[in-house]
A and B are shown apart, each in its own frame.
Chain A
Amino acid sequence: MINKTLRSPLPTRRDFLKTAGAASMALTIGFEWAASGRRAVAAVAAPGAPFAPNAFLRIGSDNSVTVIAKHLEMGQGSYTGIATIVAEELDADWSKVTVESAPADAKRYANLVFGTIQGTGGSSAMANSWAQLRDAGAKARAVLLSAAAKDWHVPVAELTTDKGVVYHAAGKRQAAYGSLVKTAVTLPVPDTVVLKDPKNFKLIGGRPPRVDAAAKTDGTAQFTLDFVLPGMLVALLKRPPLFGATVKSFDPSAAGAVPGVVKVVQVPGGVAVVAKSFWAAKQGRDALKVEWDDSKAEKRSSAALMDEYRRLADQPASSARKQGDAKKAIGDAVRKVSATYEFPYLAHAPMEPLDAVVKLDANSCEIWAGDQFQTIDQLNAAHTAGLDPKQVSIHTLYAGGSFGRRANTISDYIVEAVSIAKAYGADGTPIKLQWTREDDIHGGLYRPMYFHKMEAGLTAQGELTGWHHVIVGQSIVAGTAFAGLVKDGIDGTSVEGAANIAYAIPNIAVDLSTTKTGVPVLWWRVVGSSHTTFAVEAFIDEAAHAAGVDGFTFRRKLLEHEPRMKAVLELAAEKAGWNSGPMPAGRGRGIAVAEAFKTFVAQVAEVSVDKDGNIKVDRVVCAVDCGTPINPDIITAQMEGGIGFGLGAVLYSAITLKDGRVEQGNFNNYRVLRMNEMPKVEVYIVPSTAPPTGVGEPGVAPIGPAVANAVFAATGKRIHMLPFPKTGAV
């Protein structure tokens, strides 16, 4: 019998982070956000003080509502989502709501999905804020109601609220929230509160506009690039050309002679040129002469590494899932299919090259950055500076994209900035470390390169009996602070989306061969599913073809016990007109479905392939089930963006190494999607009252295989190597 319990109980990345959090003793502090309101009562409120019943909001006597966001806003809409949840239960006037970023503080602002770490990732911002912020908003509203009841000498039960105003219909009285602040600050915050019935939601499920849209349209939104302090200097760091190389010696004279260069300093990551402006620092770095020690550097080429991976795929590996006897089932099968898939290293390439401002002196370290792992970065900054984490404060600014890059456990760019400030003299001079695009593309922490080998067996009736999936590649968490989370040789981030495939196949084996290279790697938007979903969904399509069944029907039959996955599959197929008949010559339709971070996404891609083999993705129909849709417009935007991001990667992007040197350097040779390549995207959201899950990453997962399957439908040719072959190859 196949049912849900047969799904591999593999821990997700969230579980890993949770465990990691528990292991990071320095970060483990009791979580007390619910109690903060009671402490506020004990404090004597200053005259004119805002009403701040908990760590997540503040109401001013001017009716302003300030929501404090513990998550980074990097484009995914977290600020708007967070504010929406608070404002909904508070019954706030959306036009009065603004958002400010929380300080680094694991005690108050931990990501509840991660455990005791403050950070953003794993598409978890809404999931972990939902209960917490509804409670915070509802308790604040309850106090405001009590304040009105007290001021008016009426029972709370006779009061209602709407858009930031308390009403007493019988007494024909009303009071804006701001006017109640004076009384509210004197009242206790209740321990428990009744939340709104979802059918009374006014903002959730609606389309409150993004809190950041206007400032991001008129140029006033402040990114780290734009952050300036008096007397601030700008640093560029010359890093070794090979991963693992170190400074042997350097000659600062030419760099030092550039007008505007203030100091040239050696740090663990290389040699930094500190100057009065970016341009001076850039010219100084160009002039800087450094001799590198390559003795411990990675000098292999990516092609050689892939050759090794191919060989490893036939060697014994660690088992990530074993159900039944896949080898025997495939051996006994009437029909067999097999395929391999190759995935390159990928850079995240956020539009804002990494940057951070650090002000360091003997007793304190202040950091301004688009910071994604606040309490990890705080810890690493403290360690680098030789300070206590309490002496490090982090101001989180808007991030110009991240896609995972800013969430790294070594805090690479933060540590670089702190180490430069330290080498400069730790004299309180603010220093901005600025990466260039070349620094970003050469900078490592890539999505790992992977090789996948798949075999499947089918009965004469076309039923899948055995499935064997071998994955070869580097571990994202090995060698990091999360290294202890590799269990029995399995890094869950390497096999998520593969070991837990939802398809009802009686015999499944998923094996992992973990490689080691000198190339630093990291999670990249949708993490493991950025490659596993491609392999699974392209290969299941090959199995469907072998069975003589269309890709939709074949999948649906295997998802009978997966209602949410099946529902998105059906919705996407229906909206795309899957059964509307064959497409004209040279065109094709492909489908793929995935679950990532507990969100379900199916996509149907329509492609045209011309006589020269040029692929054009014309249309993508996307269905998503992310639980309660908090903001359907942002969900839609994340699906659109995820599709564009994923599509650019599968069509064009690759980081390759030649003798250890990264061969790409900028957007000329690290190709990403452009306007003329963006398909028409339609998004359909499954209505749901389940707790909300994330949308920042899952939309990326199915687009590659959906397009590859569409290319097969158009041309009869399968794609086994990413990025897709260049012009003329299909």
Chain B
Amino acid sequence: MPTTFVLNGQSATLDADPAMPLLWALREVAGLHGTKFGCGMAMCGACTVHLDGQAVRSCVMPLSAVAGREVTTIEGLKSKQAKAVQAAWVELQVPQCGYCQSGQVMSATALLEKNNAPTDADIDGAMSGNICRCATYQRIRAAIHSAAQSIKA
């Protein structure tokens, strides 16, 4: 049964099992590979996308749940906060293996879109659901602060 929703700003209809997790619909039906599979139970954040502007874990969200709603993936990031986050990520050389970083960027962008001057505690709150086994956490924190500064400037 097809599900229609807004994907990265454009209407999309995916013909897939409505119970299929959004992650796999994005990856295997829509062909968008930036969103990663890490745990399959919303424990690691590698699959983070935005649903109506909120960071959500796509690995446990059935495709049917996004019908009529707006989904943004790493491929569709356009906001000034997103651009600032990605610029800071490169500037501070955040990624190591890089596998979790799409999810990290999505969570960080969602944070900055709501809070233009996050404290360390805000960052802990928004980012602790995103695991990085390379433990790039210190640079992620610095990059979020740096991105917040650059948006203000």
Query: Contact: A637 with B133, CB < 8 Å?
Result: no
- Choose the segment among A58-66, A192-200, A638-646 that binds chain B (4+ C-beta atoms closer than 8 Å): A638-646
With A217-B105, A218-B86, A643-B135: A74-B34 Cβ-Cβ less than 8 Å: no
Choose among B17, B90, B95 the residue with the greatest number of A CB atoms under 10 Å from its CB.
B95
Contacts of A277 in B (CB 8 A): 24, 28
- Establish whether residues B97 and A680, one from each chain, have CB atoms under 8 Å apart when the complex forms: no
Q: Is the CB of B98 within 8 A of A681?
A: no
Q: Which of B70-114 contact A (CB under 8 A)?
A: 73-75, 86, 89-90, 93-102, 105
Chain B residues in 8 Å Cβ range of A259: 17
Contact between B97 and A351, CB atoms less than 8 A apart:
yes
Quick one: which of A213, A350, A399, A668 contacts B41, CB cutoff 8 A? Answer: A668
- Of the candidates A75, A222, A672, the one whose C-beta lies within 8 Å of that of B96 is A75
Given A350-B133, A437-B38, A672-B133, A278–B28 Cβ distance below 8 Å? yes
Q: Are B39 and A401 touching (Cβ within 8 A)? A: no
- Whether A279 is near chain B, meaning CB under 8 Å from some CB there, is yes
CA A209 – CA B92 in complex, angstroms?
9
Q: Number of B interface residues, CB 8 Å?
A: 52
Contacts of B33 in A (CB 8 A): 219, 222, 225-226, 228
The A-contacting residues of B in range 15-63, CB under 8 angstroms, are 17, 20-21, 24, 27-28, 33-41, 43-44, 46
Determine the distance from Cα of A633 to Cα of B20 in the docked complex, in whole angstroms: 42
- Would you give the shortest CB distance from A515 to chain B, in whole angstroms? 28
Chain A 195-234, CB-CB to B under 8 Å as 1, else 0, gives 0000000000000011011111111111101101000000
In the complex the two chains form, is A75's CB within 8 Å of B134's CB?
Answer: yes
With A219-B75, A279-B20 already in contact, the answer to whether A352 and B99 are too (CB < 8 A) is yes
Chain A: minimal CB distance from B2 (Å): 15
Is A667 interfacial (CB 8 A cutoff)?
yes
Q: In angstroms, how far is the closest chain B Cβ from the Cβ of A642?
A: 8
Chain A CB within 8 A of B140 CB: yes
A279 contact set on B, CB distance < 8 A = 17, 20-21, 24, 28
Contact A641 B98 (CB under 8 A): no
Asked if A674 is at the interface of the complex by the 8 Å CB criterion, the answer is yes
Task: Assess whether A673 is interfacial by the CB under 8 Å rule.
Answer: yes
Q: Mark A100-128, 1 if CB is under 8 A from B, else 0.
A: 00000000000000000000000000000
Query: Is the CB–CB distance between B128 and A674 below 8 Å?
Result: yes
Q: Give Cα A222 to B100, complex, Å.
A: 13
Number of A-B contacts (CB under 8 A): 173
Task: Verify A641–B134 contact, CB threshold 8 A.
Answer: yes
Do A217 and B133 contact each other (CB < 8 Å), given the known contacts A223-B99, A400-B98? no
- Residues of B close to A349: CB separation below 8 A: 133
- Does B7 sit within 8 A of A, measured CB to CB? no
Check: A77 CB closer than 8 A to any chain B CB.
Answer: yes
Interface flags for A360-400 (1: CB within 8 Å of B; 0: not) read 00000000000000000000000000000000000000111
Whether a CB of chain B sits under 8 angstroms from the CB of A130 is: no
> B136 at interface (Cβ–Cβ under 8 A)?
yes
Question: Which of chain B's residues have a CB closer than 8 A to the CB of A681?
Answer: 138
- With both beta carbons as reference points, the residue of chain A lying nearest to B89 in the complex is identified as A217
Query: Is the CB–CB distance between B73 and A637 below 8 Å?
Result: no
B129 contacts which chain A residues (CB < 8 A)?
A: 674
Q: Is A648 an interface residue (CB 8 A)?
A: yes
Inter-chain CA distance A569–B114, complex, in Å, is 44
Residues of A within 8 A of B124 (CB): 675-676
What residues on A are CB-neighbors of B44 within 8 Å? Answer: 351, 437, 667
Shortest CB-to-CB span from B74 to chain A, Å, is 4
How distant is B111 from chain A, measured CB to nearest CB, in Å? 11
Q: Check A242 for interface membership: any CB of B closer than 8 A.
A: no
**Given A219-B74, A674-B131, residue A213 in contact with residue B89 (CB < 8 A):** yes
In the assembled complex, 15 residue pairs joining A and B whose CB atoms fall closer than 8 Å, in A order, are A213-B89, A214-B90, A217-B86, A217-B101, A221-B98, A278-B27, A279-B17, A401-B133, A403-B133, A437-B38, A637-B136, A644-B136, A667-B41, A674-B129, A678-B137
- List residues of A whose CB falls within 8 A of some B CB: 74-77, 209-210, 212-223, 225-226, 228, 259, 277-279, 349-353, 398-403, 434, 436-438, 633-634, 637-638, 640-645, 647-648, 666-668, 672-676, 678, 680-681
Known: A436-B40, A437-B41, A673-B137. 5 other contacts (CB 8 A): A216-B97, A228-B33, A351-B99, A641-B135, A644-B138
